[in-house]
Amino acid sequence: MAVIDADDLPLFAPSKKVYPQSVAGPYRRAKWIILVLCLGIYYLLPFLRWDRGPNLPDQAVLADLANNRFYFFFIEIWPQEIYYFTGLLIIAALVLFLMNAVAGRVWCGYLCPQTVWTDLFLAVERAFEGDRRERIRRDESPWSLDKAWRKTGKHAVWLVIAWWTGGAWVLYFADAPTLVRELATFTAPVSAYVWIAILTFTTYSLAGIMREQVCTYMCPWPRIQAALTDDDALNVTYRYDRGEPRVSVKQAQRLRAEGVPAGDCIDCNQCVAVCPTGVDIRDGAQVGCIQCGLCIDACNTVMAKIAYPTGLIAYDTDDNVKRRIAGHRPVYRLLRLRTAIYAALILVVGGAMIYQLATRQTAGISVLHERTPLFVKLSDGSIRNSYTIRLLNKRPEERPFALTVSGLPGVRIETIGPQATADLRPVVTVEPDSSREIRALVTVPADVHLEKSQPLTFTASDLFAGEIVRAEDHFIAP
């Protein structure tokens, strides 16, 4: 046997171009369905309308950066409620952990944008340049008119998809039909063109040129998930207990007739040919495998053709392979401590967010004590403090709020500008879906014994809807 000296090995091996072959089967079908759903939602959602009443945008999903609002159907998020996004990010991370605990890199194989767009770009490549063999032959052949128009056509369609991907992204930040008109007439804001250009470039290069190299070399998730996974997570597994030793169908028949064991893998290489990352799953778990299941479809097709049972490659665990070799039954444990904990955490965080959303207030008040001066002693001996009060109205109609203050005997509040009710409570009217800042003077009579600093409660009551909001601050005395 020839011995290879380690010094003769190159430090870096150039990556080989991968030519994934088309394949049919349930996993491929599932991937197509997910692709159509994800891209359909992404490209069309900005055009979905949602009536929120007059003066408010009617786009169902809109990040209105100019007015500091995020709209998601019936939900309107204000900047103060950014914690909803934190909650969403926590849920997204937990769902990813749960997916990983149940079925390894199922996110990578089916739902990751890199996978979805690469699949789309590969479909375009096949439409122009044919399937694997044809593409390899064409790439190896000298340039011709046929090769030139096919390559040009492919790159042109890739660019259009990439451009539309960037275009769809900016539509989430402005009224979509208006922005489309502005883009078409070159009257849109410069930032829209810049973002479209950036996303056109990234989509084209990531999904068209870099493809599987993003998953293998650039993305951190394969390394993170390798640290998170356990022996019970289902992964796309070559059942070497059944597949080895690899022999042709005829040889297998002959060997079995002689009582010599033969594996079911006929070494046809179909599982490698269809792999979008160029991985040979028979070499075991590896960082390049995105767990897309396409090699399962390919191998099952081969098995069906040669009348062998399907499932030589399947979602399974290495432990089960070892158990079968030892003559034991395989064990599938989807419900275990870590999956139960992840599911429970998702329910708790999701439930807390739903509760918070269902009971969220549509008004708000914040109070800021003015510091210069901290207090004023009036000619009758009473003490006065000044405050800046901001009232929030998150509803689509104008609302009058009556202001009161409590916490000290005889304390009274006056505002500069707004009128008062019959019971002398100042009333501040706030425009729909906006906030209003006012100055307020709080006075305590001279005969009240005052400490240096005492707590005060400011209350704003909606005179129509009855909603009440409160804020705490302090009254400062000499």
Nearest residue (CB) to ligand SF4, 233 versus 289? 289
CA geometry: angle 393, 399, 400, nearest 5 deg:
120
- Residue located via tokens 């159509």: 36
Q: Which is nearer to ligand SF4, 295 or 321 (CB)?
A: 295
Beta bridge partners of 402: 427, 461
* Shortest Å distance, C-beta 268 to ligand SF4: 4
Of 228, 235, 231, 227, nearest in space to 98 by CA? 228
DSSP 8-class letter at 284: -
Q: Yes or no: say if 284 and 290 are a contact pair by the CB < 8 Å rule.
A: no
- When the beta carbons of 94 and 106 are compared against ligand SF4, the nearer one is 106
Q: Which is nearer to ligand SF4, 289 or 405 (CB)?
A: 289
56-68 burial, b for 16+ CB within 10 Å, e for fewer? Answer: bbebbbbebeeee
Q: How far is the CB of 313 from ligand SF4 (least distance, A)?
A: 6
> Could you tell me how many helices (H) and strands (E) the chain has, helices first?
16, 14
- Whether the CB-CB separation of 285 and 211 falls below 8 Å is answered with no
Taking the least distance from each CB to ligand SF4, the nearer of 233 and 294 is: 294
Structure-token match 């070799």, residue found: 325
- Under 8 Å CB-to-CB from 240, ≥6 apart: which residues? 263, 282, 321
**Interface positions with ligand SF4 (CB under 6 A):** 236, 238, 243, 265-271, 274-277, 279, 281-282, 289-295, 298-299, 302, 312-313
Q: How far is the CB of 324 from ligand SF4 (least distance, A)?
A: 16
Q: How far is the CB of 204 from ligand SF4 (least distance, A)?
A: 23
CB of 247 to ligand SF4, least distance (A): 10
**Cα-based torsion angle of the residue sequence 242, 246, 249, 250 in order, rounded to the nearest 10 degrees:** -130
Residue 311 or 350 having the CB closest to ligand SF4: 311
Which amino acid, one-letter code, is at 316? D
Of 453, 460, 455, nearest in space to 472 by CA? 455
Q: How far is the CB of 299 from ligand SF4 (least distance, A)?
A: 3
Which is closer to ligand SF4, CB of 235 or CB of 443?
Answer: 235
Q: How far is the CB of 149 from ligand SF4 (least distance, A)?
A: 31
Q: How far is the CB of 135 from ligand SF4 (least distance, A)?
A: 17
Q: Which is nearer to ligand SF4, 167 or 293 (CB)?
A: 293
